[in-house]
Structure 1
Amino acid sequence: MTRWRYAAATDTGLVRETNQDALFVDDSLAIVADGMGGHAAGEVASAITVEAIYNGYLERPTIEGLLGAVETANREVLSDARANPDRFGMGTTVITVGLTRDGTGFSTPTLLHVGDSRAYQLRDGALRQLSSDHSVAEEWVRMGRLTADEALTHPRRHQLTRAIGVDADIEIDVMSLHVQVGDRILLCSDGLSNELEPDTLAKLAGAPGSLDDAVTNLINAAKMAGGRDNITAVLLEFDEAHEPARTINTTMASAPPPVASTVASRPRKSGSSITWRAGAGLLLVAGVVAAFFYIMHWYAYSTYYLAPDGKYIGVYAGQPNGVLWYKPKLASRTMYLSAQLQTPALASLKATISEPSLQSALNYAAYLHGLWVTSQSSGVTTTTTSTTTTTVRTTTTVKAKG
């Protein structure tokens, strides 16, 4: 079982007139949304999003359920904006961590995000950024057009490339988190991350004492640094962490039993009877053919495996070599670099993995990445890693925050 303790707070800051951030946190779900739009529109967008994700997760606490909840939030914000012209153009970022269940009965911390709200992991004093900002400047950093230092002051650093409520099509980043007892996860709006340096975040978020005190100190420090935006922080500390046992199943999944039929012969009675029987026979043949295609489709995409997707590691649905005309499909693209998994041992594991669910495959990707992280020399500098699932391939229209 995986469990966390938590504390959270939000503040209007020193410049904004209203607080358009929204949050929710309990013992299995944490959400931060940073609304944008004129008047109270951003506040509405963030509130709709938090409520939709909470309801969706409550109904289905799985990775698929959490993804569906974010997609529902996107539809509901768009629908509300269409019904209320004064809210046209509203939107929100969102970052959420939920304990998602898989077939083993255990819960895995799963992170999803859209926009530039952030998630950090703090372990033994070292701060690691988990999420990747969906902004023009950060996209250019990933493309090599800007350096990380240049992005900090670039005029388009706050211009988002993805947001909830901007377009019907949306891309959602998702990753399974590899946690240990004592780890802390910080979710925050950019009103916190823009004001404080990583070493300050690490010092305050990891300070001994109560989580409530740590969150209060984070908010106050952001206000002392300028407080130019709404400030929201959710701090989780894991007091119990389940590490799923790793088993690699390289056997092919068994398909359901084939549909069989027996046609008994009877004496010919009349032309109409022959016509009826011929029609029934055709329907029977059609049913058998349909059952065959259904079984083949089920078998072809019943498992998941890891393989390179360009320079990153992808999670594919299907059999590695395909089945008949059913070729593997990319189900999720992580941000773990292929180069990080190129040692002989890891390459061997990656080549033979066969997992029964998307959640299980993402867990294994996180496990392999964790091995790589462990092999590196520890440091206090902040690094960035995330796992991306493209649920809809079209990137949202660029929308400036304000």
Structure 2
Amino acid sequence: MDLRYSDEDKAFRDEVRSFLKEKLPKEFSDKIRKGQELGRENQERWHAILNEQGWLAPNWPASFGGAEWNAVQRHIFEEEAAAANAPRIVPFGLSMLAPVLQKFGSKEQQDYWLPRILSGEDWWCQGYSEPGAGSDLASLKTTAVLNDAGTHYVVNGQKTWTTLGQHANMIFCLVRTNKDVKQQEGISFLLIDMDTPGVEVRPIILLDGTHEVNEVWFTDVEVPVENLVGEQDKGWTYAKYLLTHERTNIAGVGFSQAGLAAVKRVARAEMAGGKPLAQNPHFAARMAQVEIDLMAMATTNLRIISQAAAGSAPGVEASMLKVKGTIIRQEINDLARRAAGAYAMPFASEAVEGSNAGLPDPHDAGPVAAQYFNYRKLSIFGGSNEIQRGIIAKVKMGGGA
């Protein structure tokens, strides 16, 4: 693969930079840079800005209202957006559900749901994990029973770790529709309105006091049969297709590049009474290794999104990218925490005001430790890295460990 940008690619990069400079609200980039929550209202505003530009759905075909960018264009946009501290679009509707509807949904579902994803009328969340079914997703217990008239399903059960479910009005769910077959063969894919009677969202408050994830309970929830995606009992096929897109997104090449650039800025700064951290052999070696790994991952990412753009679901490569991507991002988080030193601690701002001596603004360094701990989750969600390594071994080595 030729990784050199063509003249057309460079022109596109300049267009992206101009757009971000003109249209990205400074208050948004400031919040992202400082590790602060953007909030629903601001997320929806950025969503609308990108949609007006026609750039909200870079991976969608033009026939569905997408930008239909090629792999290099998508890579450039992700890289430039991360460098500009642009918000990351909530992926559940745009990057996870939409590809499933485009490949497996009925025309009626495509015509109704896809425009609503673009317009922001629907905020989607994901109903996959359950208390006893996380990495072993096929063991899920939430049931959906078709009523005698065949008009709707009755759903009962529980989903957990539902990210941003407190904002969502729709949830796509894996449910068990057949208990008498192999686990993977009795699962269906349903679209459920969160305002339906019997749906209850319960917050899970994290150790840092934030409300990011939730439990979602279903008690005799009636879901129209028209909200079944594809065929009944074939949902495992659709779930695997969705997960390949999720795992590719989790890798976050652009965000890792931006994070590494920030670490370099700190490490190369002159310290009061000492040498720049970049001159420490151990720290410099770690930075060099993560940069090498990131360059290799960027190449793999381009290859995988090229496959997706051609209409195929990436296979084991998505698992490889998910594992390596999360390891790299966690390593960069650790380097950032070490580089910021005491400034990564949650001191009151006035305690360090004006005393950073070459370090980043202490107001910016504060979230570093919080991000380090929060991003430990990367190796778990989207299919834990241990499970992904098992998939890689099975496919590439015939079941070898």
Shorter chain as denominator, the TM-score bin is under 0.3
The answer to which structure, 1 or 2, has the higher relative contact order (CA under 8 A, 6+ apart) is: 1
Judging by fraction of residues, say which structure has more helix: 2
After TM superposition, the score normalised by the length of structure 2 is 0.25
Q: Which of the pair has more CA radius of gyration? A: 1
TM-score (normalizing by structure 1): 0.25
